[in-house]
Amino acid sequence: MTTVKSPTESANEFRKRAGEPFRQHDTPTTKALSPKETNLLLHELRTHQIELEMQNEELRRTQRELESAQKRYFDLYDLAPLGYLTFNDNGLIREANLSAASMLGMERAALRNTQILKFILPEDQDFFYLQRKRFAKSGVVLQWEMRLLRVDGSSFWAHLRATPTHEGEYWINFCDISERKHSEKLLAELNLHLLMVQENERIAISRDIHDDLGQNLTVLKLDLEIIQLKKCSDCKILDDSLSSMCGGIDQAISKVKQIASDLRPPLLDSLGLVAAIEWQINEIRKRSAIEFVVLLNEDADSLDQNISIVVMRIFQEGLTNILRHSKATVVTVSLCKRDGLLILELADNGCGISPEQLASPSAYGLMGMDERAKSCRGKMKISGNPASGTILMLTIPLDAGAGSI
């Protein structure tokens, strides 16, 4: 049985052990110290003893602070709402907090030395590899969104933030954004529904204006022409009034046709997208001095109707912005199919557009164009500067017609 020593005995033993090396090297004293020298030596020893005790107390205080800070750190680390993972160059998880274990559906201890790829969907693993290569090479913090896998095989959307730490290790924190993604999906579906309703209303209004109001104005004009033919020859005042009325009705008929065309380009349904774009360009030529360079691929006509509507609306909005803001004199329009994509490019030589204008919360026209592009899995990019004008690039997958607007 081991005997437990008292603090005094332990201190005496420690002092004895500490003095042993000095006793082994002691040489006989050749000269006795005087009382003054002895007092001076005792004073120095006591001073050193006090200094050592103060240093020892400082070390103990620092140790307590470090232990307290470490405890707070681990409490924050373990109880943080974000998941934290540390993994090495081989993709093995070295550390994980409780939130990470909970979100991935696995015991914390079991996560250690598990391949991180086990928790990434197979179709997203190449993307993760590229992101990992980027932040390992650049050393900067990267953020992205991707789907993660739980142990039970279910998946969830996560926002990830990653940075290299030291000695070939990487630190990732992530949070579950599935609810946000679901809300974004519902908003996209609602936006798509609203666009469909808007488009159907435009078709109905255009048809009503053209068929009802347009026909009524035409009949009214014919009646006035009949009255004009039957009037007496000496009714000069009546003749002038009838002529003025016929002129006013002609203007009204022209305006009705223009409104109906703006609501729904007349050639889009009958002849296709290319013809509708050419018609729109010719209409603008009548009202402005802008020179157009037009490069339209006839193959672009064999499209799903929903894609044609999206492209036409974005094209119309783009032209409207050019007329209102760009001060351009030359506009280039190109439309083609390439690599499974429909590509529309609209470029001008005007005053350009700034990043601040693109990001403006009041740029509702640009927001609407972007939403239309997204409704059929398309992408719209706008860039510009004062020296070269503005370029709008729209790309849409050719198989994206179903369910789009």
Closest C-alpha among 207, 197, 305, 328 to residue 256: 207
Instruction: Provide the pLDDT for residue 237.
Output: 62
Chain centre distance of CA 239: 67
Closest C-alpha among 296, 345, 353, 344 to residue 321: 353
Would the pTM of this model clear 0.75, i.e. be above it?
A: no
Within-domain flag for 136:
yes
CA 318, CA 98: separation in Å to the nearest integer? 51
Within-domain flag for 67:
no
The structure tokens 């620092």 sit at: 62
CATH value at residue 103? 3.30.450.20
What pLDDT, in 10s, does the model give residues 105-138?
999 889 989 999 999 999 999 999 888 888 878 7
- Within 211-355, strands assigned E span 291-296, 330-338, 341-348
Find all residues with CB under 8 Å of 102, minimum gap 6, and list them: 83
Q: Around Cβ 172, how many Cβ atoms within 10 Å?
A: 21
Within-domain flag for 162:
yes
Instruction: Provide the pLDDT for residue 12.
Output: 59
Interval 44-72 mean pLDDT: 79
Instruction: Provide the pLDDT for residue 38.
Output: 82
User: Helix, strand or coil for residue 89?
Assistant: coil
Same domain, 354 and 290: yes
Same domain, 404 and 280: yes
| Residue 1 pLDDT grade (very low, low, confident, very high; cuts 50, 70, 90) | very low
Within-domain flag for 152:
yes
Instruction: Provide the pLDDT for residue 196.
Output: 74
